[in-house]
Amino acid sequence: MAARAEDLRDPSAAGSAGSGRGGAEGSGGSAGLGAPRAPGVFGEDGEFGERAALAADAEDSVCRREEFLLPPAPASCGYSEVAYFAGNSLGLQPRAVRAALSAELDDWALHAVEGHHRAAHPWLPYHAELREDAAALVGAAPEETVVMNSLTVNLHLMMATFYRPAGERTRIVIEDHAFSSDSYAVRSQAVHHGLDPDETVVRLRPRPGEDCLRTEDIVDYLAREGHRVALVLLGGVNYLTGEFLDIPAVTAAGHAAGCVVGWDLAHAAGNVPLALHDWDVDFAAWCSYKYLNAGPGAVAGCFVHRRHVTDPELPRLAGWWSTEQATRFEMRPELVPVPTADAWQISNPPILAMAPVRVSLRMFAETGMAALRERSLALTGYLERLLAEVARDRPLEIVTPADPARRGAQLSLRVIGGADAADAAAVAARLHETHGVLADVRRPDVIRLAPVPMYSTFHDCWRAAAALAEEVNPV
C-alpha cells in the first residue's frame, strides 16, 4: 500500500508545523495532511482535494512503493520524499537490488572462477535465468528474447541483420520526434552502406498544428512509398509526447509493403502491454533503466521473431556467446548458431549489471502487466483531470493523446509562456525546489510527468498538480 501523506511529511523541515506548510497550525486544523497547502480547488476537500487522493491510495493494492528507495525532498518543501515523475528517464532503485548485488559479490569472493557453475545463480547461464520473465513482459516466446548489451547497441546488431538496402528499397522510416540516439543510429547505418543519410532516413511528421503521429498517416505513407522502404523503425511509445503507437497496425502495413518492421521499446517495456510475437514484429529492443528500474545504463533486452531465429542463413554479427553452449568451450573457429535470440548475443553476460535486471523482471512477473496497466490508466487519468483543471486558465497544454489507449504512463505538458512561465526548465526547477515534485524537462517547452504504476501514488499526482497551480500564474 502507498505511503500516507503524514508518513511523507518531514516535521524537521523549514516551515513545517505552525507555519502553514503542513503542520497542524495553519492547515485548517487538519494535522496529518501533506504540505504545502495549495490554492483553490487543490486544497483538502472536493473532487480535486488532497483527501480524495489519499483515499484512492488507501484503497490501492497494486502499488509497491515501499519496495523502492525515493530521493529525499528539498528540506524547505515540507515533505521527506520527492513526488517522483521522472521514471520515464530513470526508474527508482528497488530495495532488493543491494542484496542481489551483495550476493553476487559474495559468490565471486567465495568461488572465483568456479562461480560460473557454483554461484547461487550460476554465471554461465545467467542470462537464461532472465529469459522467461523478459519474454512475458513483451509478449514473446522465451526463445525469441535475450537480455544483453544496451539499447542502441542492440538496435545496431538488429540492423546489421535486418537492414539490407537493395535497388530502390533503401529507406529507413523513423518518427520526426525520435529519440536522438535512434536518429544517430539509423543515419550511421545509412552511411555504413554508402548511402546519403539525408536521402535515406525518412522522418514522419505529425500533421501541421498537431504533436502526435496518426496511425492512418503512417499506414498511408507505407502504402504509397513502401516499395522504397527497407526498414521501419519507430518508437513504441514516443519519448517526448508519450504517444503509444498502434504497433500491430503499423507492423501489418509495413509487411504489406514488403518492409522489415522493428520497434524501439525504450518507453514501452514495463509501461504498456505488449504482444510482439502475436503482432508479428520482426525485431525490437528496449532499455531496462526507465520503467524497468534496473539502474543507470542497465543491461537491455532484445526480441527477434521466431521465424527469424530459426533461419541459420541470416547474416549476424557474432561473438563467443552467439554459438551453441554445448561446444562453446571447445573453442572451435566456426560458429554454430542456436535457434534462439541468443544467436545475436556476442559476449558473456555482465553479472553485476544483470543482477538488478533479474530483480526488476521478477517484480514485474509477480505483479503482472495487466494489473500495472489497469493502475496506470487510473493514475494517468486522475493526473490528466487534475492537469486539465490547472491548464484551464494557465498557459499550459497537455500534448499527450487524450485517448487512454493511445498513451502510456506519461503526460507531457507544454509551457506556452507568459506570466512567470516562459521557460519549462524554470517551472520544473521551482516544482522541485519549492514542492519536492521531480519531473523531467525536454527543452524548450515540455515538462514530462510519468506516474509510474509500480511506485507512484495518487497523492504524488495531487502534489504535482497543486504545485503547478502555485507556480504557473493564471493568464
Q: What is the mean pLDDT of residues 138-148?
A: 98
Dihedrals phi, psi of 236, to nearest 5 degrees: -60, -45
Q: Tell me the per-residue pLDDT of 15-43, one tens digit each, with 9 for 90 and over.
A: 332 222 232 222 222 333 555 445 567 88
Spatial distance between the Cα atoms of 401 and 411, rounded to a whole number of angstroms: 8
Supply the DSSP string of 86-153, one letter for each residue.
-TTTSPPEETHHHHHHHHHHHHHHHHGGGHHHHSSS-STTHHHHTHHHHHHHHT--GGGEEE-S-HHH
Residue 321 has pLDDT above 50, yes or no: yes
Supply the DSSP string of 185-197, one letter for each residue.
HHHHHHHHTT--H
Q: What is the dihedral of CA 346, 347, 353, 358, to 10 degrees?
A: 60
At what angle are helices 247-256 and 215-225 packed, to 10 degrees? 10
- Per the model's pLDDT, the better-predicted residue between 208 and 4 turns out to be 208
Q: What pLDDT score does 19 carry? A: 26
Q: What pLDDT score does 9 carry? A: 45
Mean pLDDT of the chain: 91
> What is the DSSP secondary structure assignment for residue 407, as one 8-state letter?
B
| CB neighbour burial string for 184-217, b if at least 16 within 10 angstroms, e if fewer | ebbbebbeebebebeebbbebebeeeebbbbeee
Q: How far is CA 293 from CA 148, 181, 379, 409, in A?
A: 16, 20, 19, 14
Pick the CATH number of 98-367 from 1.10.3720.10, 3.40.640.10, 3.40.50.970, 3.40.50.300: 3.40.640.10
Q: What pLDDT score does 317 carry? A: 95
Q: How confident is the model at residue 422 (pLDDT cuts 50, 70, 90)?
A: low
Strand partners, 145: 303
Q: How confident is the model at residue 474 (pLDDT cuts 50, 70, 90)?
A: confident
Tell me the longest C-alpha to C-alpha distance in the chain.
77
At what angle are helices 50-58 and 458-471 packed, to 10 degrees? 160
Angle made by CA atoms 347, 353, 357, in degrees to the nearest 5: 105
Expressed in angstroms, the distance from the first to the final Cα of the chain is 39
Task: Specify the CATH architecture of the domain 5-94+368-471.
Answer: Alpha-Beta Complex (3.90)
Q: How confident is the model at residue 10 (pLDDT cuts 50, 70, 90)?
A: very low
Q: Tell me the per-residue pLDDT of 166-221, one tens digit each, with 9 for 90 and over.
A: 999 999 999 999 999 999 999 999 999 999 999 999 999 999 999 999 999 999 99
Q: What is the residue extent of each domain of the chain?
A: 5-94+368-471, 98-367
Q: Where are the alpha helices (DSSP H) in 345-391?
A: 351-367, 369-391
The two domains 5-94+368-471 and 98-367 share their CATH topology (first three levels equal): no
Spatial distance between the Cα atoms of 207 and 205, rounded to a whole number of angstroms: 6
Q: Tell me the per-residue pLDDT of 368-405, one tens digit each, with 9 for 90 and over.
A: 999 999 999 999 999 999 999 999 999 999 999 999 99
Residue 222 has pLDDT above 60, yes or no: yes
> What is the DSSP secondary structure assignment for residue 414, as one 8-state letter?
E
Supply the DSSP string of 233-300, one letter for each residue.
EEESB-TTT-BB--HHHHHHHHHHTT-EEEEE-TTTTTTS---TTTTT-SEEEE-SSSTT---TT---
Spatial distance between the Cα atoms of 91 and 93, rounded to a whole number of angstroms: 7
Non-local CB neighbours of 475 within 8 Å, separated by 6+ positions: 393, 394, 395, 418, 419
State the DSSP H helix or E strand holding residue 74, giving kind and residue range, or none if neither. Answer: none
Mean pLDDT is lowest, of 32-46, 341-355, 439-453, for 32-46
Residue 229 has pLDDT above 80, yes or no: yes
User: 244 is written with which cell numbers?
Assistant: 503509444
Q: How confident is the model at residue 6 (pLDDT cuts 50, 70, 90)?
A: very low
Detail the residues annotated as belonging to a binding site for pyridoxal 5'-phosphate: 151-152, 264, 267, 289, 320, 348
Which residue from 246, 201, 255 is spatially nearest to 223, judged by alpha carbons?
255
Supply the DSSP string of 155-175, one letter for each residue.
HHHHHHHH---BTTB-EEEEE
Residue 148 has pLDDT above 70, yes or no: yes
Percent of the chain at pLDDT exceeding 70? 90
- Record the pTM: 0.91
Q: What pLDDT score does 368 carry? A: 97
User: 114 is written with which cell numbers?
Assistant: 568456479
User: 374 is written with which cell numbers?
Assistant: 489497469
Detail the residues annotated as belonging to a binding site: 151-152, 264, 267, 289, 320, 348
In this structure, the number of other CB atoms found within 10 A of the CB of residue 232 comes to 27
Q: Which amino acid is at 95?
A: R
Q: What is the mean pLDDT of residues 279-305?
A: 98
Q: What pLDDT score does 297 carry? A: 96
